[in-house]
Amino acid sequence: MGAILTVRDLSKQFGHFSALKKVNLEVEPGEVVGFIGPNGAGKSTTIRILLGMLQATSGDARIFGRDVWSDAVEIHKRLAYVPGDVNLWPNLTGGEIIDLFMRLQGSGDRAQRDRLIARFELDPGKKSRTYSKGNRQKIALVSAFATDAELFILDEPTSGLDPLMERVFQECVEEVKAQGKSVLLSSHILSEVERLCDRVAIIREGEIIESGTLNELRHLTRILLRSETVSPPEQLETFPGVHDLERSGSRAVFQVDSDQLGAVMNYLAGLGILKLESTPPTLEDLFMRRYEQSGAKRSETER
Amino acid sequence: MPNSKLRAFAGMPMLLRFRLRQDRFKLLCWIGGLALFSIGVAYALDGLFPSAEERQALAQTLRSPAMVAIIGPSDALNAYTTGAMFAHRMMLFTALAVAIMNILIMNGHTRGDEEDGKVEMLRAASIGRLAVPGAALLEMLLVNGLLALVHGIGLGAIGIATMPFSSSLLYGAALGAVGLMFAAAAALFAQLSTSGRGTLTLSLALLGAYYVLRAMIDTRSPELSWFIPLSWSYLTDAYVLDRWLPVLLALGLSVLLVLAALWLNSIRDVGAGFLPQRGGRLHARRSLLSPFGLTLRLQRTMLISWGIAMLVIGLVYGSVFGSLDEFMAGNASLERLLPPGSAGDLNAQFLSLLTVVLAVMGSIPALTSLFRLKSEENRGMLDNLWSRSVSRRHLFLLHCGFAAAVGVLALLLASAGLYGTQASSMDHPFTVGIIFCAVLSYIPALLFVIGVGALLIGWLPHLTGLLWLYLAYCFITDYMGDLLNLPDGLKKLTIFSHVPKFPVDAWQWQPLLWITLIAVVLVAAGYAGYRRRDMR
C-alpha cells in the first residue's frame, strides 16, 4: 500500500503573493507527521488545499490516491478534519453539532462519541455560543475521533486546551495511530509534536525548509554542553562552531555544532574533565535555529 | 449606611462616558434615522394630502377594525388634521422601533456583556456592584431624552400649522418615555434570565404581547387601552388632545421597574439569574441531520419573522381597497402613481401596483436566505460542511432552491393577507384566483433576482451588496417611476417591469417563461463559478 497523502511541488498564488512554493509532503499509513511553522507560513493554506477548499495553482496533491480537488467528497468520507479556529453555529448545542458533524462525515460510533465526550469533560447540552475556545475545539475533536476515518488532518487542534485536555488529545492520537491510521498534525506546541510525531516537516514562507525524522533533523543542530575542567578552557571561543559561550573560571556553558563536537571534546579532554553534561537539542531549539538562519539569510539578501 | 449604598454605584460616571463613546455611532444612526424618518413623513403627508377633503377620505379607510388593530385608533378621525394624521399613522410604529432600540442596547450592556464575561472584568476593577446596570440605565435616560427633544424640535420646526412646538414636544416625550419603560423592562429581564438571548426573547415577547393585546382591546373596548403600557404612546393624542398623563404614567412605571431591576441585581451573583435554566438537547433530532435540515434550522427565526411581516403587509394593503374610490377622487399625486390609462378599473390598477411592491418585498427574504451561503462562508461556518462529505453543488443548489421556496412562500402569505382584508372591506372583492395569479405572476421575476444573486456568489462574492441596490432601484422605479417622470429606458431596467400587469393586462405565459429560463441560466452560470473558485 502506498502513501495515504502525497503532495508534489504544490504551489499556490494569491494574486502576486506566493503562499506556497513547491511544497512536498507525504504521510504513510500508520504515521503521524508533524507540520510546523509560524503563523502565515502556509500551514493552513496547504491544509485548505488538501481539503479541496482552495485550488492549487500548480502541483499535485492526492489523498488515498485521489485528487484532492475533484474527488473531495469521496475523500472526505474517509477523512476527519479539526480546524484551529472552530466556528460553530451559536444556536445549536454541542451535542447537536457533534451529531450533525458525524452524520455529514458519513461514519461514526455513538458509543465512542459518548465516551469521548466524557473523556474531554464536555457538557454537550449547552448552546455553542456559551462555549470557550477550548470547548469549541473539544466539539471538533470529539466529532473527529468518533468517526472511523483513516486520515486525521488536525490544524493546531490544542491551542485552546488546558494541559489535562492536551494529554487526553495526545492519548487519542496515540490510539488512532495504534489502529494503523494516519495523522497530519499542524502545531505550534513543539513538545506535543516531539512526543507524537514520527516525522516532521518545517514550513517557512511557503517553503518546506526541513523534513525528516526527529533524529535526522537533530544531526543538523547544536548540542548544549556544560563542562567543568581542571584548567580553564580559555581557547574555547576560538573553535569554530561554538556559540553562546558563558565562561566563569573553569566552568563553561555553551552550544556546539554537531559536526564540531569531536574537536571540542578533544580540547576539553586535554584540560582534564571534571564534569560534563550534554543536552540533545529539543525540537524547539531546532526550530528556532532554522528560523534564525533563514531569517539572517533573508536580511542579507534584502540589503 | 448611605455611604455603602453610594459605593455600589462607584465608577458609574466613568462607565457612562465609556458607554456613550462606545455607542455614539449606533446612537446617532438610531436617533438620527428615526427623527429624519418622522420629519420626512410629516413633511410628505402635508404635501400629499393638502386639503381637508383628501385627509378625510384617508381617515375613512382607517376606520376599519383591521387598520385600528394594525396602526391604532385615533380620536380625530372626524377632524383629521395633518398633525392628527401624522400622530395616528406614526406614533405606534415609531414607539415600537424606539422600544426595540432600547431593548437591544439595554440587553447588550447588561446581560449580553455579562454573558461575554465583560461584566466580570468591570466588576474586578474598582467599580460598584450596581454601576453596570446603573450606567446603562442612565445612558438610556439620556438617549431617550435626546430622542424626545430631537423629535419635538424637529417636528415643530417644519412649521405645519397643526403641528405646533408644544404638541411636537409631547409627541417626542411620549416616544422617549415609552422607550425608557422598555429599557427598564429589559434591565429587569436581564436579572431574571441567564442569557442575552433569553433577555431579548422575554423583552420582545412582552412588546409583542402588548401590541397584540392592544389590537384586540382597541377594536372592541378602547377605554381598557389605558391598562396597556404600550398604548400610552398614542393615548397622549398629540396634536389633538395633547394629554401629558400617559407620559407621566410611563415614567412612573419606568422608575418602579428600575428599582426592581437594581434590587434584584444587588442580591444576585455575577452570571446567575432568577429563572430556572433549561438544559439544551444532548442529541440532534433526525430532522437536523442534513444540509437541508441545518439550513432550515439556521434560518427558522428569519423565515418566521418575514412570514409574519409579509402577511401583515398583505393585510394592510388589502384593507386599503375598501374606500379606494373615494380616497382616490381628486388626489393628483396618488393618481400619478398608478399606471396610465384611466379607463381601466381603478381597483385593478391599484392591485397591479401593489403586486409589484409585494414582489420586491418578497425578494428581500429570498435574497437574505440565498446570501446566507456567502455570509456563512465569510464566518468560516462552511468549513464545517466542506471538510465533510458535502459537495459544493449540493450546498449551492440547496441554497438557490431554498431561496426560491422562501420567496414563493412570502408571496403566498402576502396574497393570503391581501385577499383576506380586501374581501371583507370591498363591495365587489377580487376572487381568490385573481389575487393569487396577480401576485404569483411575479415568481419568475423573483427567480431572476435569485439567479443574479447566485451569479454574484459564484463569480463576485464581494459584490453581492450591489443586488440590494438593484432591488432598491427596482422598488423606486416600479413604485414611483411615473411620479418621478423617469424615462422609459430607465424603467425597463427593472425585471419587474417585464412582468405583464395582470389583471390590468391579460394573462400571458410567454414573458414569464422567458424570465424563468433566464433565471435558470443565471443559476447555472453562478454554479460554474462557484465550483471552481477558492473558498474563504
**B139-186: pLDDT as tens digits:** 999 999 999 999 999 999 998 989 999 999 999 999 999 999 999 999
- Assess whether B298 and B267 both reside in one domain: no
The three cell numbers of residue B16 are 457612562
Of A291-295, B187-191, B278-282, give the lowest mean pLDDT range: A291-295
| Strand stretches in B425-526, DSSP E | none
pLDDT for the residue A302: 41
**How far is A56 from chain B, CA to nearest CA, in Å?**
9
Is B17 part of the contact surface with chain A (CB cutoff 8 Å)? Answer: no
Is residue B61 in some structural domain? no
Question: What is the rounded CA–CA span in Å between residue B412 and residue B239?
Answer: 39
- The model carries a pTM of 0.75
Is B490 part of the contact surface with chain A (CB cutoff 8 Å)? Answer: no
Question: What is the rounded CA–CA span in Å between residue B127 and residue B297?
Answer: 41
- Assess whether B261 and B386 both reside in one domain: no
Residues of B with Cβ-Cβ distance to A103 under 8 angstroms: 284, 289-290
- Assess whether B202 and B257 both reside in one domain: yes
Query: What interhelical angle do B443-459 and B392-425 show, nearest 10?
Result: 150
Which uninterrupted H or E stretch holds B183?
Answer: helix B165-192
Which residue of chain B is at minimal alpha-carbon distance from A14?
B534
Is A269 part of the contact surface with chain B (CB cutoff 8 Å)? Answer: no
Among B239, B271, B303, give the residue marking a domain's end: B271
- Assess whether B250 and B294 both reside in one domain: no
- Assess whether B266 and B294 both reside in one domain: no
- Assess whether B332 and B475 both reside in one domain: yes
Is B286 part of the contact surface with chain A (CB cutoff 8 Å)? Answer: no
- Residue of A99, A113, A136 to mutate when probing chain B, most B C-beta within 10 A: A99
**How far is A29 from chain B, CA to nearest CA, in Å?**
21
Per-residue pLDDT reduced to its tens digit, B479-517: 777 766 778 888 889 999 999 988 888 899 999 999 999
Question: What is the rounded CA–CA span in Å between residue A82 and residue A259?
Answer: 40
Length of chain B: 536
Name the average pLDDT for chain B: 88
- Assess whether B401 and B495 both reside in one domain: yes
CB pair distance less than 8 Å for B281 and A72:
no
Residues of A with Cβ-Cβ distance to B296 under 8 angstroms: none
- Give contacts of A 45-104 with B, CB under 8 A: 48, 51-55, 72-74, 76-77, 79, 81, 83, 85, 87-89, 91-93, 95-97, 99-101, 103-104
The residue-averaged pLDDT of B374-384 equals: 93
CB pair distance less than 8 Å for B535 and A54:
yes
Is B529 part of the contact surface with chain A (CB cutoff 8 Å)? Answer: no
Residues of A with Cβ-Cβ distance to B282 under 8 angstroms: 93, 95, 124-125
- Assess whether B169 and B253 both reside in one domain: yes
Q: Could you read off the pLDDT tens digit of each residue along chain A, which spans 303 residues?
A: 589 999 999 999 999 999 999 999 999 999 999 998 888 889 999 999 999 999 999 999 999 999 999 999 999 999 999 998 899 998 899 999 999 999 999 878 899 999 999 999 999 998 888 899 999 999 999 999 999 999 999 999 988 899 999 999 999 999 999 999 999 999 877 788 888 999 999 998 899 988 888 777 776 677 889 999 999 998 888 988 888 888 888 999 998 887 888 899 999 999 999 999 988 777 777 777 776 766 555 544 443
Question: What is the rounded CA–CA span in Å between residue A162 and residue A145?
Answer: 18
Residues of A with Cβ-Cβ distance to B288 under 8 angstroms: 92, 96, 99-100
Which residue of chain A is at minimal alpha-carbon distance from B287?
A100
> CB pairs below 8 Å between A and B: how many?
98
Residues of B with Cβ-Cβ distance to A129 under 8 angstroms: 197
Residues of A with Cβ-Cβ distance to B385 under 8 angstroms: 104
Is residue B425 in some structural domain? yes
Is residue B68 in some structural domain? no
Residues B348, B321: contact at Cβ < 8 Å? no
- Give contacts of B 224-283 with A, CB under 8 A: 279-283
Residues of B with Cβ-Cβ distance to A55 under 8 angstroms: 532-534
CB pair distance less than 8 Å for A91 and B294:
no
Residues B346, B450: contact at Cβ < 8 Å? no
A10: left (phi over 0), alpha (psi -120 to 50) or beta: beta
**Residue A105 is nearest to which of B282, B297, B389, comparing CB atoms?**
B389
Among B271, B304, B326, give the residue marking a domain's end: B271
Is B462 part of the contact surface with chain A (CB cutoff 8 Å)? Answer: no
Pairing type for strands A182-187 and A199-204 reads unpaired
Which residue of chain A is at minimal alpha-carbon distance from B390?
A73
Q: Say which residue the cell 402588548 belongs to.
A: B210
**Residue A127 is nearest to which of B280, B379, B388, comparing CB atoms?**
B280
- Give contacts of A 112-171 with B, CB under 8 A: 124-127, 129-130
Residues B311, B416: contact at Cβ < 8 Å? yes
Is B113 part of the contact surface with chain A (CB cutoff 8 Å)? Answer: no
A257: Cβ contacts below 8 Å, ≥ 6 apart: A221, A222, A240, A241, A243
Residues of A with Cβ-Cβ distance to B283 under 8 angstroms: 95-96, 99
pLDDT for the residue B7: 82
CB pair distance less than 8 Å for B284 and A100:
yes
Is residue B50 in some structural domain? no
**Residue B281 is nearest to which of A93, A101, A106, comparing CB atoms?**
A93
Residues A172, A118: contact at Cβ < 8 Å? no
**Residue B386 is nearest to which of A53, A89, A101, comparing CB atoms?**
A53
Question: What is the rounded CA–CA span in Å between residue B287 and residue B271?
Answer: 33
Residues of A with Cβ-Cβ distance to B291 under 8 angstroms: 104
Question: What is the rounded CA–CA span in Å between residue B161 and residue B171?
Answer: 16
Rounded-to-5 percentages of helix, strand, coil across chain A:
40, 30, 30
Better pLDDT: B324 or A122: A122
Is residue B71 in some structural domain? no
Is B140 part of the contact surface with chain A (CB cutoff 8 Å)? Answer: no
Question: What is the rounded CA–CA span in Å between residue B252 and residue B235?
Answer: 16
**Residue B389 is nearest to which of A48, A89, A104, comparing CB atoms?**
A104
pLDDT for the residue A278: 86
Question: What is the rounded CA–CA span in Å between residue B111 and residue B124?
Answer: 17
Is residue B211 in some structural domain? yes
Per-residue pLDDT reduced to its tens digit, B106-122: 999 998 888 777 888 88
Which residue of chain B is at minimal alpha-carbon distance from A71?
B391
Question: What is the rounded CA–CA span in Å between residue A80 and residue A77?
Answer: 8
The residue type at B3: N
Residues of B with Cβ-Cβ distance to A131 under 8 angstroms: none
Is B388 part of the contact surface with chain A (CB cutoff 8 Å)? Answer: yes
* Confidence at B271, pLDDT banded by 50, 70, 90: confident
Other C-beta atoms lying within 10 Å of the C-beta of residue B74:
21
The residue-averaged pLDDT of B117-136 equals: 85
Better pLDDT: B363 or B342: B363
Domain range holding B532? 288-536
Among B271, B298, B326, give the residue marking a domain's end: B271
**Residue A101 is nearest to which of B281, B282, B384, comparing CB atoms?**
B384
Is residue B59 in some structural domain? no
CB pair distance less than 8 Å for B388 and A105:
yes
Classify residue B272 as exposed, middle or buried by CB count within 10 Å of its CB (0-12, 13-18, 19+).
exposed
The residue-averaged pLDDT of B367-391 equals: 93
Cis peptide before B246 (omega within 30 of 0): no
Which uninterrupted H or E stretch holds A18?
Answer: strand A17-27
* Confidence at B315, pLDDT banded by 50, 70, 90: confident
- Residue of A103, A116, A147 to mutate when probing chain B, most B C-beta within 10 A: A103
CB pair distance less than 8 Å for A95 and B284:
yes
Which residue of chain A is at minimal alpha-carbon distance from B277?
A126
**How far is B118 from chain A, CA to nearest CA, in Å?**
13
**How far is B401 from chain A, CA to nearest CA, in Å?**
20
Is residue B78 in some structural domain? no
Which uninterrupted H or E stretch holds A26?
Answer: strand A17-27
- Assess whether B135 and B204 both reside in one domain: yes
- Assess whether B293 and B216 both reside in one domain: no
Is A11 part of the contact surface with chain B (CB cutoff 8 Å)? Answer: no
Statement: residue B339 has pLDDT above 60 = no
B335: Cβ contacts below 8 Å, ≥ 6 apart: B328, B342
Strand order in the sheet with A32-36: A79-82, A151-155, A182-187, A32-36, A199-204, A207-213
Based on the structure, what is the number of domains in chain B?
A: 2
User: How large is the ipTM?
Assistant: 0.83
Per-residue pLDDT reduced to its tens digit, B416-435: 999 988 887 777 788 999 99
Residues of A with Cβ-Cβ distance to B383 under 8 angstroms: 51, 53, 83, 87
The residue type at A82: V
Beta bridge partners of A186: A35, A155
Pairing type for strands A182-187 and A32-36 reads parallel
The residue type at A248: S
**Residue B289 is nearest to which of A55, A85, A99, comparing CB atoms?**
A99
- Assess whether B386 and B529 both reside in one domain: yes
Per-residue pLDDT reduced to its tens digit, B223-265: 899 999 999 999 999 999 999 999 999 999 999 999 999 999 9
Residues of A with Cβ-Cβ distance to B297 under 8 angstroms: 91-92
- Assess whether B132 and B222 both reside in one domain: yes
Which residue of chain A is at minimal alpha-carbon distance from B301?
A91
Statement: residue B452 has pLDDT above 80 = yes
